[in-house]
Structure 1
Amino acid sequence: MFRNVLERLQIKWKSYRHRFVPWIALNISKNEKTLRQVKERSEDKLVPDEEVSRSLRQLFGVLYSHGVHHRVAKKGHFHGQVTSDNELCAHDAMFQSFGFCIDRKPSTLPFAGTGVFVTKGVVPKGATVAMYPGTVYQVYEPILLQSIKNPFVFRCLDGVLVDGNDKGISKMVFKSCSGRDRLGPFVMSDTSWLTVNPQNPLAVGQYVNNCSNECPANVCYQEYDVPDAFPVELRQYLPNVNYSPHSQRPLRCVVVISLRDLTAGEELFSNYYTIVH
């Protein structure tokens, strides 16, 4: 019985430790070789936002033309569940657009659970290889309840938080906010990343595992604000939504950029910590 208690405490600690500042500071000093460091915020972007927009519009345009999208029912309710046929179309569209595919599979790291792998083709250096989905919280918005036992909260450089948890209260919050934000017949965000078959095949970035000395980082996170000119009909593939309906800031997304060429079979590893000097 005592062993079971210790195991439960260990599981809780693993989910909490990434928000415990002393633990973070200690592990930063221990794993200095694996840290990603940049001199200033402008250098944190490896790829211009315009290039990220071009890549997303290219993929989303192919998805839209293939009919991989939400369907509007007669009574005005949209159906967000993606079928297995749509999953095949989504990955075909990804390969057609980028020349590679990614997917979730059991990680090569012991006890890491799920990871993200290149499953087909070659990823060139500087490519937008994945997206970090979730509800976007500004620094002044409450996230205490959602953050409990939640290892998927991503903190941006300016303090904006992205909750990439696809279960529990986080899942309910995202679906509620997504159902709230519509423009006529157009859906403004994608809820299918909450299922096993996301219609946007990029929306698996929350499952990219942290790098180590043995498995160095081959991708990195990059913040991206969706421009106002982004086509309305393609916003249904964005796996992010603002928590507040009155947010005046552009929608914050986080994309995953390749640091080198990647081939089929490789697992994606990122730096969970970026230090800006």
Structure 2
Amino acid sequence: MLQTLGFCIDRKPSTLPFAGTGVFVTRGFVPKGATVAMYPGTVYQAYEPILLQSIRNPFVFRCIDGVLIDGNDKGISKMVFRSCSGRDRMGPFMMSDTSWLTESPQNPLAVGQYVNNCSNDRPANVCYQEYDVPDKFPIELRQYLPNVNYSLDTQRPMRCVVLVALRDIRAGEELFSNYYTIVH
């Protein structure tokens, strides 16, 4: 990751009191405007049920258009993601990366659900950017995307959310977002 992107990130205990896990730049340097993390999870269209998965779940991300991404890597959310991912397999090709559900993800950027909200003392240094994966995205590279559609018959492209650096970020810094702003 350091050779390819110029930085490494990892989950560690947050510097914020009672915030649990956070995401830190552990090595290198993240330049302003760079993609620093991805928000993994099951993608639900606005009309799809998510009641059971959403109970006591702080990892549900709401997109501008009402699409939801459940980034919880435990419990029923984890089971739903694995089930949908297995369903979508095309021959030898996986259509999503399930390794973000483990301690050592294959895609090291798939930890965006652990980025904590900013505070008065710690302003946001990353923001969310939503995008739809184009239909022409190579099938052999889909195995690295940490997202899967809940419904197989969804006519919309795969929704992904990435976190983009708002400023240069140095090794040792924790990533903070503003849960209420999204770049268009």
TM range (shorter): over 0.9
Separation (CA, whole Å) in 2 of partners of 1:258 and 1:175: 30
Q: Which has the larger radius of gyration?
A: 1
Question: What is the aligned partner in structure 1 of residue 59 from structure 2?
Answer: 152
Partner letter of residue 113 of structure 1?
Answer: G
Partner letter of residue 217 of structure 1?
Answer: A
Question: What is the aligned partner in structure 1 of residue 173 from structure 2?
Answer: 266
Confirm or deny: 8 A CA contact 2:96 2:148 kept in the other structure. yes
Separation (CA, whole Å) in 2 of partners of 1:173 and 1:275: 26
Aligned residues: 183
Partner letter of residue 28 of structure 2?
Answer: G
Separation (CA, whole Å) in 2 of partners of 1:179 and 1:96: 32
Question: What is the aligned partner in structure 2 of residue 210 from structure 1?
Answer: 117
Cα RMSD after superposing both structures:
1.0
Confirm or deny: 8 A CA contact 2:127 2:182 kept in the other structure. no
Separation (CA, whole Å) in 1 of partners of 2:96 and 2:80: 13
Question: What is the aligned partner in structure 2 of residue 196 from structure 1?
Answer: 103
Which one has a larger percent helix, Structure 1 or Structure 2?
Answer: 1
Separation (CA, whole Å) in 1 of partners of 2:64 and 2:7: 29
* Structure 2, gaps ≥5 residues long: none
Alignment of 1:43-192 (within 5 A): 94-192=1-99
Deviations 1:120-142 (A, max 9, x none): 10000000000000000001100
Q: Secondary structure at the match of 1:186?
A: coil
Partner letter of residue 115 of structure 1?
Answer: G
Asked if 1:232 corresponds to 2:139, the answer is yes
Q: What is the CA distance between 1:274 and its match in structure 2?
A: 2.0
Q: Secondary structure at the match of 1:125?
A: coil
Partner letter of residue 132 of structure 1?
Answer: Y
Q: Secondary structure at the match of 1:176?
A: helix
Return the structure number with greater relative CO, CA threshold 8 A, min gap 6: 2
Confirm or deny: 8 A CA contact 2:24 2:173 kept in the other structure. yes
Q: What is the CA distance between 1:99 and its match in structure 2?
A: 0.6
Separation (CA, whole Å) in 2 of partners of 1:116 and 1:275: 19
> TM-score of the superposition, structure 1-length normalised?
0.65
Question: What is the aligned partner in structure 2 of residue 65 from structure 1?
Answer: none
Separation (CA, whole Å) in 1 of partners of 2:137 and 2:13: 34
Return structure 1 stretches of 4+ with deviation > 4 angstroms.
none
State the identity as a percent.
85
* Structure 1, gaps ≥5 residues long: 1-93
Separation (CA, whole Å) in 1 of partners of 2:146 and 2:165: 20
Q: What is the CA distance between 1:247 and its match in structure 2?
A: 0.6
Q: Secondary structure at the match of 1:248?
A: coil
Q: What is the CA distance between 1:95 and its match in structure 2?
A: 1.4
Separation (CA, whole Å) in 1 of partners of 2:20 and 2:165: 22
> TM-score of the superposition, structure 2-length normalised?
0.97
